[in-house]
Chains A and B, each alone.
Chain A
């Protein structure tokens, strides 16, 4: 199963460390923190979709899926036709105005090759960004819910137990 960056918006404090870390690594931030008036903040990056429209429409094969499942990118093959930008439902691929080719998140291929986490995940001070396999992430979350329920049951607070995600 491919690994992705999962976003836990409840932990996010909108500090934008992810944006800056990405910018310091790639020259341009490929992740963005959206801020809402009620103090909620959501970091959002390329989803590396399982059925990736960008990848499907790319006429030159510049976009490809790498061994970890990331939708990665070969700049030498890109002709700047913008098809990927049209196809992406999230508006993720962005045109690099100078080189007239596309630019998108590749889950820090260079860092992964060295066995490191993507830069945004490494930096995130609250661990709102998690890198891993979907089942692994969900099992951890579920594990916490189960532990909460178990703890409440042990305390004899059965009627007060509710699910905290």
Chain B
């Protein structure tokens, strides 16, 4: 028997910092991990608890091992095992039937931020080959405020600088972000290094986050009202003439309109709305305008209906203070999953082609049709929330790859009812998730360490991860499932792939920003390259040094108006409910709940209540309380703590909080309200 240990270089499957380590693999099983200090890795060998425990879930006995066909009611979770051939046959027949009855526009696809670049690319290609543009991914609820806003202002959304520039910043602004828990390695290796170098830190959050003890200022707005603070910052920077004159003059347009738009948004006005002292807002504005700033924002800003306006305001602020296009500054999107960019950059969106161009762009479509060899639909499809809304109506079938929308989408009680209305649902995943329980056919997929592929981190670093373990039972990598299904559908000629390398080579020729990220280059350079990497080589580390990606190369400053959150506390529901992430869990917990070391330390959900509110409602730490909004209620334990401001309650989101959130969406970005809804809380007698 061969028991030789193999060291397989892998990229961590959780957040988007892009940590690398070795999986020590013995005969197709991961025995342990080894820290990787040898290469110029982003994590310098360090790992967070999720990273250290990252292979536990793949050995869970609950892994899907064979394709399943539903025998019980939708949502009940009763299935029988079938063969792959039968599963492909049923799916292909159903797709043909629905296409004939309703047309291809009745079919919707979801890609995922949890699968590789190659796999997302294939999901995209398959959806277009079937003839539908109803294509999205759960990242819709992630960066879809910040990303379109930065597209509008700078012409490009991703992070402007590598992480090492964060360590060189003079001011770290952490706004609606909790990197000490969501990205501990990034916090320890870059933010703490900046603090060592004498940087100042400002936190803007209704909660005291883990990193808060390093901050010199902590602004605590009510959830969803920080747009007022952003507007007031713009107002102060402009009225006190603190902006970077030269930069504004040479590299931006629309300054006068912006000046006009924010002239009434004084810090005093913002104080009334957000509850943050005007003087603090002034101080922060002066700091941002005078120091090299790393502005770290995340879901606290993104997951609001007014998040788009907020993100535009911040992009304006970055531009007018000149905190862009140079060393020692940082701003950009920070995906919550290891492969957010894998979905976004392969064009997983209702209006995009993988090349990054719009589906409505005839020339771009013709070019892609030439490359791919089949006709591409020209209409703009539905976003995720609209898909759910149209389930059973315009959308008859959904094909979900590695997404758990029955738990991650807002107002999940409603989402589950909508999923029942579909004629046919296919879910491809590694566990029988809440969403998979509503599926007609469930396909067992290989997990992250069981396949080779490309991952892209938050700093635009493109890295290769390699197969370290065998998938259990008959589970297969997502790319292979798509290829085989395509063959069953008679589309085999467009999906002739035997290995992910072949898919990546096609991506090199189709997606311009990845032209230089060839399988050969990435194999030789484990540290990867920064996209856009148009030639094999390091790629582009700092963006916008000279021009922006807009048509005229200038940053387009946009006037921004105050917009209220769609639901505000009232007499009936007097509190703001917001949510947050825990260091030991990831997204809907599909994988981390199957990891004993993590589950043991972060066992259950709870609600954080300020002592003043707790006294008002007669609640003590450990009490069982009912948290209620207009959508539903859940029972949780209370934790009375100073770490959440008065008037606000906060819950970790990995469990059930989305039964309480709101499916109202922004008209342009389609972002829902996931972080600021009106709620009430009362003690439940035991």
| Chain B nearest CB, measured from A80 CB (Å) | 25
Within 8 A of A (CB), among B296-345: none
| Chain A nearest CB, measured from B584 CB (Å) | 7
A15 touches B181 (CB 8 A): yes
Which residues does chain B contribute within 8 Å of A123, judged by CB atoms?
35, 46-48, 51-52
| Chain B nearest CB, measured from A149 CB (Å) | 14
How long is the Cα–Cα vector from A39 to B189 in the complex, in angstroms?
Answer: 20
Question: Which stretch of A64-72, A124-132, A134-142 is in the interface?
Answer: A124-132
B641 touches A37 (CB 8 A): yes
State whether A13 and B188 are in contact (beta carbons under 8 Å apart), knowing that A24-B53, A39-B210 are contacts in the complex.
yes
Which residues does chain A contribute within 8 Å of B184, judged by CB atoms?
13, 15, 17, 125-126
Which residues does chain A contribute within 8 Å of B583, judged by CB atoms?
14-16
Within 8 A of A (CB), among B633-683: 641-643
B597 touches A125 (CB 8 A): no
B49 touches A15 (CB 8 A): yes
A125 touches B188 (CB 8 A): yes
In the complex, whether A19 has a CB less than 8 A from a CB of chain B is yes
How long is the Cα–Cα vector from A134 to B230 in the complex, in angstroms?
Answer: 47
How long is the Cα–Cα vector from A20 to B47 in the complex, in angstroms?
Answer: 10
Which residues does chain A contribute within 8 Å of B32, judged by CB atoms?
24-25
Interface size on A, residues (CB 8 A): 25
Which residues does chain B contribute within 8 Å of A125, judged by CB atoms?
43, 46-48, 184-185, 187-189
A126 touches B52 (CB 8 A): no
| Chain B nearest CB, measured from A154 CB (Å) | 14
Which residues does chain B contribute within 8 Å of A24, judged by CB atoms?
32-33, 52-53, 597
Taken residue by residue from 98 to 124, chain A's Cβ proximity to chain B (1 for < 8 Å, 0 otherwise) reads as 000000000000000000100100111
In the complex, whether B601 has a CB less than 8 A from a CB of chain A is yes
In the complex, whether B623 has a CB less than 8 A from a CB of chain A is no
A20 touches B188 (CB 8 A): no
Which residues does chain A contribute within 8 Å of B33, judged by CB atoms?
24
How long is the Cα–Cα vector from A14 to B178 in the complex, in angstroms?
Answer: 13
How long is the Cα–Cα vector from A11 to B185 in the complex, in angstroms?
Answer: 12
Which residues does chain B contribute within 8 Å of A39, judged by CB atoms?
208, 210, 212-213, 643
How long is the Cα–Cα vector from A23 to B49 in the complex, in angstroms?
Answer: 10
A14 touches B210 (CB 8 A): yes
How long is the Cα–Cα vector from A122 to B47 in the complex, in angstroms?
Answer: 8
State whether A11 and B192 are in contact (beta carbons under 8 Å apart), knowing that A20-B53, A24-B33 are contacts in the complex.
yes
Which residues does chain A contribute within 8 Å of B641, judged by CB atoms?
37
In the complex, whether A40 has a CB less than 8 A from a CB of chain B is yes
Q: Which partner residue on chain B sits nearest A127 by CB separation?
A: B188
| Chain B nearest CB, measured from A116 CB (Å) | 8
Q: Which partner residue on chain B sits nearest A124 by CB separation?
A: B46
How long is the Cα–Cα vector from A39 to B203 in the complex, in angstroms?
Answer: 15
Which of A13, A14, A123 has the most chain B CB atoms closer than 10 A to its own CB?
Answer: A13
A124 touches B188 (CB 8 A): yes
How long is the Cα–Cα vector from A25 to B51 in the complex, in angstroms?
Answer: 14
B213 touches A40 (CB 8 A): yes
| Chain A nearest CB, measured from B51 CB (Å) | 7
In the complex, whether A92 has a CB less than 8 A from a CB of chain B is no
B47 touches A11 (CB 8 A): no
B35 touches A122 (CB 8 A): yes
Chain B: number of interface residues, binned into ranges: 20 to 34
| Chain B nearest CB, measured from A84 CB (Å) | 25
- A16 interface neighbour in B187, B208, B584, Cβ under 8 Å: B584
In the complex, whether B211 has a CB less than 8 A from a CB of chain A is yes
How long is the Cα–Cα vector from A20 to B33 in the complex, in angstroms?
Answer: 12
In the complex, whether A21 has a CB less than 8 A from a CB of chain B is yes
Which residues does chain A contribute within 8 Å of B180, judged by CB atoms?
13, 15
A13 touches B187 (CB 8 A): yes
Which residues does chain A contribute within 8 Å of B208, judged by CB atoms?
39
How long is the Cα–Cα vector from A122 to B43 in the complex, in angstroms?
Answer: 11
- A13 interface neighbour in B47, B51, B211, B643, Cβ under 8 Å: B211
Q: Which partner residue on chain B sits nearest A120 by CB separation?
A: B52
Which residues does chain B contribute within 8 Å of A13, judged by CB atoms?
180-181, 184, 187-188, 210-211
- A20 interface neighbour in B185, B213, B598, Cβ under 8 Å: B598
B51 touches A17 (CB 8 A): yes
How long is the Cα–Cα vector from A25 to B24 in the complex, in angstroms?
Answer: 13
| Chain A nearest CB, measured from B185 CB (Å) | 4
State whether A126 and B35 are in contact (beta carbons under 8 Å apart), knowing that A11-B192, A20-B597 are contacts in the complex.
no
Within 8 A of A (CB), among B30-55: 32-33, 35, 43, 45-49, 51-53
A21 touches B601 (CB 8 A): no
Taken residue by residue from 106 to 131, chain B's Cβ proximity to chain A (1 for < 8 Å, 0 otherwise) reads as 00000000000000000000000000
Which residues does chain B contribute within 8 Å of A11, judged by CB atoms?
188, 192
Q: Which partner residue on chain A sits nearest B583 by CB separation?
A: A15
Within 8 A of B (CB), among A2-23: 11, 13-17, 19-21, 23
Q: Which partner residue on chain B sits nearest A164 by CB separation?
A: B198
Which residues does chain B contribute within 8 Å of A20, judged by CB atoms?
49, 52-53, 597-598, 601
Q: Which partner residue on chain B sits nearest A24 by CB separation?
A: B52
| Chain B nearest CB, measured from A54 CB (Å) | 27
How long is the Cα–Cα vector from A17 to B598 in the complex, in angstroms?
Answer: 10
Within 8 A of A (CB), among B246-275: none
B188 touches A126 (CB 8 A): yes
Within 8 A of A (CB), among B142-192: 180-181, 184-185, 187-189, 192
Which residues does chain A contribute within 8 Å of B48, judged by CB atoms?
15, 17, 123, 125
Taken residue by residue from 36 to 61, chain A's Cβ proximity to chain B (1 for < 8 Å, 0 otherwise) reads as 01111000000000000000000000
| Chain B nearest CB, measured from A115 CB (Å) | 11
How long is the Cα–Cα vector from A19 to B52 in the complex, in angstroms?
Answer: 10
How long is the Cα–Cα vector from A116 to B24 in the complex, in angstroms?
Answer: 15
Q: Which partner residue on chain A sits nearest B45 by CB separation?
A: A122
Which residues does chain A contribute within 8 Å of B46, judged by CB atoms?
17, 122-125, 127
Q: Which partner residue on chain A sits nearest B598 by CB separation?
A: A20
How long is the Cα–Cα vector from A17 to B184 in the complex, in angstroms?
Answer: 9
How long is the Cα–Cα vector from A98 to B572 in the complex, in angstroms?
Answer: 54
State whether A21 and B52 are in contact (beta carbons under 8 Å apart), knowing that A16-B583, A124-B46, A125-B185 are contacts in the complex.
yes
- Chain B residues proximal to chain A, CB less than 8 Å: 32-33, 35, 43, 45-49, 51-53, 180-181, 184-185, 187-189, 192, 208, 210-213, 583-584, 597-598, 601, 641-643
Give 20 new A-B contacts, CB below 8 A, not counting A20-B597, A125-B47, A127-B46.
A15-B49, A15-B180, A16-B584, A17-B46, A17-B52, A19-B49, A20-B52, A20-B53, A21-B47, A24-B32, A24-B52, A24-B53, A24-B597, A25-B32, A123-B47, A124-B46, A125-B43, A125-B185, A126-B192, A128-B188
10 contacts between A and B (CB under 8 A): A15-B583, A16-B583, A17-B51, A24-B53, A119-B52, A122-B46, A123-B51, A124-B46, A127-B46, A127-B188
User: 10 tightest CB-CB pairs across the interface, nearest first?
Assistant: A126-B188, A125-B188, A20-B49, A125-B185, A13-B180, A125-B184, A15-B184, A21-B52, A122-B35, A125-B46
